[in-house]
């Protein structure tokens, strides 16, 4: 990478920046603060190399150490930003949600009603917490809806992702496998609101007209499968949400599994092939065990992404507050979809209690997604050193 001309060019820069050097005023002296140096554009073509390079005395060493320290401080400030932002977000949620946590109590996790209370009556004060008369919040349907839709999405996405990764790595010619990578990138890059629009105008009606009747009318009438039966609805509900979520997490799982499969040592698969194993046997005995931990990690990461997904679910779930679907075709809602649809009306609550309750719901969502994410990363880090991709994105 460092070709001859660049070396000489940089060496010259170094000598010009040296205090002993005769030149002065060149771009990027040690006197400049680090950010200037980092941002300094590459300067003009290099003049000939001075003989002997740059000499260095005790003063240079000292300055060198100082500049090193200044740069560390500068960079360290920014490195602390993600941790600070994380702490600030959680602190802000806790402060906002604390009265709601006290007032709603454990009923928040066990009850089904979402009653903001009387907006036009005098606020009531209970245990020092001001709230509208009759305010009563239970988030059970939201929590159940969040977990159900994401789990269903995971069940759909994982086998498809593994199959795709196997074909891409082992069967497709390089050109086609690049094209499939492009497909996954597009799928990962399409904004969630666009996928939601697709779910509303194309997928939902298709499911209501073709898929749902097919399943609902052919599933045997036994109690364990009743969640697959019943009226097929109008295409907005648990099944549509789960399919949309599955489409959204497919690229993460498929791309990670593909990258893991490419790391399987060929010695091991060659050995298995030499023993006379078929492809299916090699896959089940060598390849899949090798990538299992990473694959589980990627799946759980996809689960975390599905749990927090907002816009697409808000558009295709039916977003019915308090709905506990008894079949996969019925409308439901999730925590994230509720926050986005209720925040506007929550601000009409003069006591601010509805907003505090949404903070509590956010906190619950954060706890669920973060525990899932941390579990995924611990799992992968413990078994393999493979780095997981950070979330969704192209």
Partner 1 sequence: MAAQKSPSASAHRIPRIPPIGPHSTPFRSTGRRRRTDISVWVLSAIALLVVAAPVGWILASIVGQAVLDWHWSVLSTPSVGTSGGLSNAIVGSAVIAGSVLVCAGVAGIAAGIYIAEYAPPAKASFLRGASEILSGVPSIVLGYVGYTTLVVSFHWGFSLAAATATLTVLVLPYIVKATEVALGQVPTSYREAAEALGFPPFRVLRAAVLRPAIPGIATGLIVAVAIALGETAPLLYTAGWSDRMPSLQPVHAPIAYLPYAVWTFYNEPYPSAHALSHDAALLLILFVLLLIVVSRVVVLTSQRHAPTARAKRGNSLRPR
Positions in 296-325 near partner 1 (CB under 8 A):
304, 307-311, 315
- The torsion of the CA quartet 194, 197, 198, 200, rounded to 10 degrees, works out to 160
* Binder of partner 1 out of 281, 350, 382, 383 (CB under 8 A): 281
Residue 118 token pair: 């009387």
Contacts to partner 1 from residues 32-71, by CB under 8 A:
34, 37-38, 40, 53-54, 56, 64, 67-68, 71
Q: By CB under 8 A, how many residues form the interface with partner 1?
A: 129
- Region near partner 1 per CB under 8 A, out of 76-84, 112-120, 218-226, 291-299: 76-84
Q: Using CB atoms within 10 A of its CB, is residue 345 exposed (0-12), middle (13-18) or buried (19+)? A: exposed
Among residues 101, 124, 151, 166, the one that binds partner 1 under rule CB under 8 A:
166
List binders of partner 1 among 99-118 (CB under 8 A).
Answer: none
Given 161, 249, 252, 332, the residue binding partner 1 (CB under 8 A): 161
Binding of residue 170 to partner 1 (CB under 8 A): yes
Tokens standing for residue 189: 């890059």
Stretch that binds partner 1, among 126-134, 137-145, 181-189, 322-330 (CB under 8 A): 181-189
Q: How far apart are CA 225 and CA 219, in angstroms?
A: 7
Stretch that binds partner 1, among 135-143, 208-216, 229-237, 286-294 (CB under 8 A): 286-294
Residue 2 binds to partner 1 (criterion: CB under 8 A): yes
Q: What are the C-alpha distances in Å from 126 to residues 10, 113, 346?
A: 71, 19, 19
The closest of 349, 331, 390, 382 to 119, measured between CA atoms, is 349
Q: Terminus-to-terminus CA distance in the chain, angstroms?
A: 27
What CA–CA distances, in Å, run from 43 to 9, 107, 272, 327, 393? 9, 66, 56, 67, 35
Contact range with partner 1 by CB under 8 A, out of 43-51, 189-197, 211-219, 224-232: 189-197
Q: Which helix (H) or strand (E) holds 136?
A: strand 136-137
- What angle (nearest 5°) sits at the alpha carbon of residue 325, between those of residues 140 and 367? 35
In the complex, minimum distance from the CB of residue 339 to partner 1, in angstroms, rounded to a whole number? 5
Give the nearer residue to partner 1 in terms of CB position, either 96 or 229.
96
215 binds partner 1 (CB under 8 A): no
Q: Of 102-110, 210-218, 220-228, 351-359, which part binds partner 1 (CB under 8 A)?
A: 351-359
Q: Of 193, 214, 350, 383, which one interacts with partner 1 (CB under 8 A)?
A: 193
360 near partner 1 (CB under 8 A): no
**Smallest gap, in angstroms, from Cβ of residue 145 to partner 1?**
15
336, 146 Cβ separation under 8 angstroms: yes
């Amino acid at each position: 990478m460092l070709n001859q001309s660049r070396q000489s060019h940089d060496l010259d820069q170094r000598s010009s920046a040296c205090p002993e050097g005769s030149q002065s005023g060149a771009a990027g002296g040690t006197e400049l603060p680090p950010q200037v140096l980092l941002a300094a554009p590459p300067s003009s073509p290099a003049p000939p190399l001075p003989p002997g390079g740059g000499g260095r005395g005790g003063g240079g060493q000292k300055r060198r150490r100082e500049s090193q320290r200044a740069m560390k401080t500068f960079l360290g400030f920014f490195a602390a930003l993600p941790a600070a932002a994380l702490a600030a977000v959680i602190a802000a949620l806790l402060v906002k949600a604390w009265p709601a946590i006290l007032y709603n109590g454990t009923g928040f996790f066990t009850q089904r009603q979402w009653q903001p209370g009387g907006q036009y009556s005098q606020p009531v004060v209970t245990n020092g917490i001001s709230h509208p008369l009759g305010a009563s919040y239970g988030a059970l349907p939201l929590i159940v809806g969040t977990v159900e839709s994401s789990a269903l999405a995971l069940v759909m996405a994982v086998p498809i992702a593994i199959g795709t990764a196997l074909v891409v790595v082992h069967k497709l010619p390089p050109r086609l496998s690049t094209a499939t990578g492009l497909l996954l990138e597009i799928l990962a890059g399409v904004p969630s609101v666009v996928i939601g629009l697709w779910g509303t105008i194309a997928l939902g009606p298709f499911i209501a007209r073709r898929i749902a009747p097919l399943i609902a009318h052919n599933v045997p009438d036994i109690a364990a499968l009743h969640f697959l039966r019943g009226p097929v609805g109008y295409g907005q509900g648990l099944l549509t949400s789960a399919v949309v979520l599955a489409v959204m997490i497919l690229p993460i799982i498929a791309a990670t599994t593909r990258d893991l499969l490419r790391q399987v040592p060929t010695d091991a698969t060659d050995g298995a092939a030499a023993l006379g194993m078929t492809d299916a046997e090699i896959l089940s005995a060598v390849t899949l065990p090798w990538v299992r931990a990473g694959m589980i990690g990627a799946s759980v990461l996809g689960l975390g992404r599905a749990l927090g997904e907002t816009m697409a679910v808000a558009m295709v779930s039916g977003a019915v507050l308090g709905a506990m679907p008894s079949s996969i075709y019925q409308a439901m809602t999730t925590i994230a979809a509720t926050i986005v649809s209720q925040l506007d009306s929550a601000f009409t609550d003069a006591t601010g209690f509805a907003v505090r309750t949404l903070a509590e719901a956010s906190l619950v969502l954060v706890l669920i997604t973060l525990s899932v994410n941390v579990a995924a990363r611990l799992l992968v880090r413990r078994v393999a050193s493979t780095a997981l991709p950070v979330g969704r994105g192209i």
